[in-house]
Amino acid sequence: MTDDRSLERAARSWLESGPTEAPDHAVEAALLRIQTTRQDRVTPVLWRLPKMNGVARLFAAVATVGVVVLAGLFTLRPGSPPNVGASASPNPSASAGEASSPSAPATPSVAACALITTREAAPFGPYGAGTGASANGSGTGAETRCQYTGGDIFLTLTLTNPGGTAAFDLVKAIPGARAIPDLGADRGGGLLGAEGVFDPATKTLYVAKGDALVAILAGSSAQSPETRLATETAIARILVGRL
Amino acid sequence: MDRVLVEQARRGDREAFAVLVHQVSDTLYAVAYRILRDTGLAEDALQNALVLAWRRLPHLREVDRFEAWIHRILVHACYDEAQRSRPWSANVRLLPVEGPSTPDSTADVAARDELERVFRRIPVDQRAVFVLHHYLGLPLVEIAEMLGIPAGTARSRLYYATQGLRAALISDAALELEKGHSA
């Protein structure tokens, strides 16, 4: 049986002789396990072209290097602010004012905190202008929050963007909520496309523009709803142009 | 193989996959048993292969290659079982009456026992190629494609499996002769 042909013949015959049917219990056990097993998720690799030849690869590599170099030059160019984004303010005049004052408290780089600077917020605090205020940002993505304190928290801004339109629809449906028509007037008297709704129950003013919604909660609990509304409206007029 | 069933199973249809399982499980088990030479290990390999195939089915690009694809999974499951198995594990299964209708001669039984013994000494990856080639009758190129190995590797595995079998048989025969002389 040791020459190749007879060996193969014998081996084939021997292989044929084993079991040819899977035991039912093994198959059933497998099917039972499958009932509680999730399939893998297939995520398409969108960033990769299906076929890249050598030239295309070279172009892609050169382009990538170029982008990295340009980004580096832009970031490290002489005269660029060392803390880009840390105290960015959408209001150029306010930024200039803060930059000229070394004691101006920094505003956190949270979207809600970019709506109004601490300097602009300070006059609405319990001690008035000149006493300063600090801001604490929280949240990421679509919902961010900024709280301004000057001893106590005197202003809370909650920004929803995107998704503000849907949230604003819910706000408008709050029983007792009323529209604030004279909101968002810019220097030219335009409304800047903003809408306002005040909820007297929570003393919160909601300002919506585009798909952004900001909830303004200002003042102290001892103040009347009308006083609170007046304060919040004043704040709204500052920030509505930045939405 | 029903292409529609594979597509349905690929999209998460468990019933469609169960139908496929019943279509392929006999062949898969037969192959697993012949590679591993142990019913318990073969059952485990079959179960693991089926579950893994279910999990990975969404990754299957060519639906027409389902059978080759699931055989590949099975062979890898056999490798795992072979690694896990202990060399002293006993196979005490009572064989079902499904062999040849005429009883084997004593010489045949002796030859089969000999083959059984020496086949277990061959590395499992060589055994897999040997079984796929001699039991399923697959050409080496197809086996190579199925297992994701070069054709040359498949060829050498088959060669070494055959040579290993022959060498072991010669060695055992020489040993028997030696015993006969000394007796």
pLDDT digits (tens, 9 = 90+) for A75-127: 766 554 444 433 333 443 333 333 333 444 455 678 888 898 888 888 887 76
Contact A18 B30 (CB under 8 A): yes
Residues of A in contact with B60 (CB under 8 A): none
**Which residues are CB-contacts of B100 (< 8 A; sequence separation ≥ 6)?**
A17
Tokens of A79: 């005269």
pLDDT bin (cut points 50, 70, 90) of residue A65 is confident
Q: How many other CB atoms are there within 10 angstroms of residue B81's CB atom?
A: 23
Q: Which of A12, A28, A31 best probes binding to B when mutated, by most B CB atoms within 10 angstroms?
A: A31
- CA-based nearest distance B150→chain A, Å: 23
Best of A2, A5, A8, A15 to disrupt the B interface (most B CBs within 10 Å) is A15
| Distance of alpha carbon A233 from alpha carbon A242, whole angstroms | 15
Nearest Cα neighbor of A12 from B135, B155, B139 is: B135
Cα separation, B124 vs B127, whole angstroms: 5
Residue among B103, B143, B109 nearest B126 (CA): B143
Treating both helix axes as pointing N-terminal to C-terminal, what angle do B66-84 and B124-134 enclose, rounded to 10 degrees?
140
Given a cut of 50, whether residue B76 has pLDDT beyond it is yes
Q: Do B162 and A7 touch (CB under 8 A)?
A: yes
pLDDT digits (tens, 9 = 90+) for B83-131: 887 554 444 443 444 444 444 555 566 667 777 888 888 899 999 999 9
Spatial distance between the Cα atoms of A26 and B40, rounded to a whole number of angstroms: 10
> Across the interface, do A19 and B96 touch by the CB < 8 Å criterion?
yes
Q: What tokens does A111 get?
A: 């979207």
Give the pLDDT score at A82. Answer: 44
For the cut 90, the answer to whether the pLDDT of residue A55 exceeds it is no
ipTM greater than cut 0.85:
no
Alpha helices by DSSP H, listed for chain B, are 3-10, 14-36, 39-56, 66-84, 106-119, 124-134, 140-147, 151-182
Note the pLDDT of residue A93.
38
Task: Identify the CA nearest to A186 among candidates A226, A232, A236.
Answer: A236
